[in-house]
Amino acid sequence: MGNSSVSGTWARRIAVTVAATILAGAGLASSAQASVAQGGVYGTGVVTDDWGDEGPLSMSSNSHNSVVGLWQAILAADLYLPPEDIDCYFGEQTAAATRLWQKNHGLGDDGIVGPLTFGKADDSLYWVGSEIRYRGSHLTLYSMHRTSSGRWYANGGGSTVYFSYTNADFCG
């Protein structure tokens, strides 16, 4: 399947839910520093190691927040979840899509999005100027950024939304 950019309302939803981060200090070589305890997605240095300490997301752990929306956007970009189902809730449909995504990426298919699953997904992140993008198998997620302190966020429709474990603003 071709790889196309997402635009319009759907792009805003994906940009806020799945992709996020403006990376200041792109030349730094330090490793990722994110965790649920920090309340949101954080990273430093190269973007392809920013998500390897994220999660867990599952039906029973961190099941309703903007990071779930980000994960759902990744699933949508890879055609495992319909874009209209990005709702920031980790339900059975997201769990089933996650299991299939994990299986197809050579991971244990437990349906829980933890460091290994997020770490595999961040291999598809790349920079375009100051913007971070996710190259999905079907769609490209864009408008993601990282602040100078490393916090990931997305811009879309004139608003900024942080990828947070404590709210679901992405699906607003």
Structure tokens given for 153: 């966020």
Neighbours of 18 (CB within 10 A): 33
Residues in the chain, how many? 172
Contact yes or no for 47/127 (Cβ under 8 A): yes
Percent of the chain with pLDDT over 70: 80
Secondary structure (3-state) at 74: helix
CA gap 152, 20 in Å, rounded: 5
pLDDT tens-place string over residues 44-95:
999 999 999 999 999 999 999 999 999 999 999 999 999 999 999 999 999 9
pLDDT digits (tens, 9 = 90+) for 21-52: 222 222 222 333 346 888 999 999 999 999 99
Of 136 and 21, which is predicted with more confidence?
136
Q: Give the integer Cα–Cα distance in Å for 151 and 155.
A: 13
Please state the rounded mean pLDDT for residues 146-163: 92
With b meaning 16 or more CB within 10 Å and e meaning fewer, what string describes 58-71? Answer: beeebbbbbbbbbb
Mean pLDDT over 132-159 rounds to 93
Q: What is the pLDDT of residues 125-135, one digit of tens each?
A: 999 999 999 99
Q: What's the CA angle centered on 72, arms 71 and 77, to 5 degrees? A: 100
- Report how far residue 122's alpha carbon sits from residue 86's, in angstroms, rounded to the nearest whole number: 19
Average pLDDT over residues 156-172: 90
Mean pLDDT of the region 134-156: 94
What's the mean per-residue pLDDT of the chain? 83
